[in-house]
Structure 1
Amino acid sequence: MTKQQAKKSTNGADGTTEPVRLDKWLWAARFYKTRAIAKQMIDGGKVFYNGQRSKSSKMVNLGDKIRIRQGFDEREVIIIGLADRRRDATFAQTLYQETESSVEVREKTALARRQGILLSPASDTKPDKKQRRQLRQFKERN
């Protein structure tokens, strides 16, 4: 077995403690569908590694904190496993643990979004010509 083959067999999804690139880990943990998308999110400032922006080539280690913004949600996770290969979703969930405060904040924001939608429901029909005229007059008045 060559040196490179030995490295490949000891690094990755079999539970080693060797550091893995941030973009590879995010892809393997199934936060993003492709590594290219993971790299874009890291470069775009949507991912914070230990409270700081970082490069996609940053090596992650066990116990590090990652804050990820995806749409309306923001998650803070602690790395408890390393992998550089993508496997099934049940395995991916064993790679991280979401903090309690992160879960609470996500639930509160989801509830607020649901209540906001319920308080201002959309109309079933489009406004007719008269209603459109009234809306336009009301908007121009203010």
Structure 2
Amino acid sequence: MRIDKYLWCVRYYKTRSIATQAIQKGHVTVNGQQAKASRDVFPGDKVTVRRDQINYILSVLDIPANRVGPKLVDMYRKDETPAEAFAHLELLKLSKEHYRAKGTGRPTKKDRRELDDYTGEDEWPDADELLADD
């Protein structure tokens, strides 16, 4: 079976054309070599797919006759992706949440509260305290 069709059948890509585009961009390797969309895969091959900043490592167990349901995918491939890859993705997501582009305006009320929690400044001074300092 062609590699683009295999990746579509085991539901790594929504359409076969998207799988073909990913292969052409160099996001897919078979047994450590860059693949072309027309390359055949066989049981026992190791396929590496780069998606969402994660390198998924798959072992081909069997070749499906056509696209299979999500519950049956594990009959045709074994996912050997390390857990550290998913942990790294979560860390990237958390770091992007706290990034604020320069020039995007004033912080929102939620941003201010998060900054106060981070810096430990839980309370703003009362008006009486401000006037007493003068």
In the TM superposition, residue 73 of structure 1 has moved relative to its aligned partner by 1.7
Which residue pairs with 1:127 in the alignment?
Answer: 105
Find the partner of 1:105 among 73, 77, 84: 84
Q: Please, which of 47, 50, 53 is the counterpart of residue 66 of structure 1?
A: 47
How do 1:23-34 and structure 2 match up within 5 A? Answer: 23-34=4-15
- When residues 127 and 74 of structure 1 are mapped into structure 2, their CA distance, relative to the original with a 3 A threshold, is same
Secondary structure of the corresponding residue to residue 97 of structure 1: strand
Mapped to 1, the partners of 2:19 and 2:37 lie a distance apart of 8
TM-score, reference length from structure 2: 0.68
> In 2, are the aligned partners of 1:25 and 1:84 still within 8 Å (CA)?
no
Distance 2:79 2:68 in 1: 19
**CA deviation vs aligned residue, 1:43-72 (integer Å, no higher than 9, x gap):** 110100111112111111111100001122
Structure 1's unaligned 5+ residue stretches are 1-19, 129-142
Larger radius of gyration: 2
1:57 and 1:84 map into 2 onto residues whose CA distance is: 17
Provide the rounded CA distance (Å) in 1 between the counterparts of 2:82 and 2:62.
20
**Gaps spanning 5+ residues in structure 2: where?**
107-134
CA distance in 2, matches of 1:36, 1:84: 19
Q: What one-letter code is carried by the residue in structure 2 that aligns with 1:71? A: D
Q: Let me know the Cα RMSD of the aligned residues.
A: 2.0
Give the C-alpha shift of residue 122 in structure 1.
4.9
Question: Of the two structures, which has the highest relative contact order with CA contacts closer than 8 Å and spacing of 6 or more?
Answer: 1
C-alpha distance after superposition, 1:91-137 (max 9, x if no partner): 123211111xx22232231232144246x2559xx525xxxxxxxxx
Query: Kindly tell me: are residues 114 and 43 of structure 1, through their superposed partners in 2, closer, same or farther at Cα, counting changes over 3 Å?
Result: closer
> Matched residue pairs, number?
104
C-alpha contact (below 8 Å) 1:24/1:84 kept by paired residues: no
1:116 aligns with 2:95: yes
Q: When you count helix as a share of all residues, which structure comes out higher? A: 1
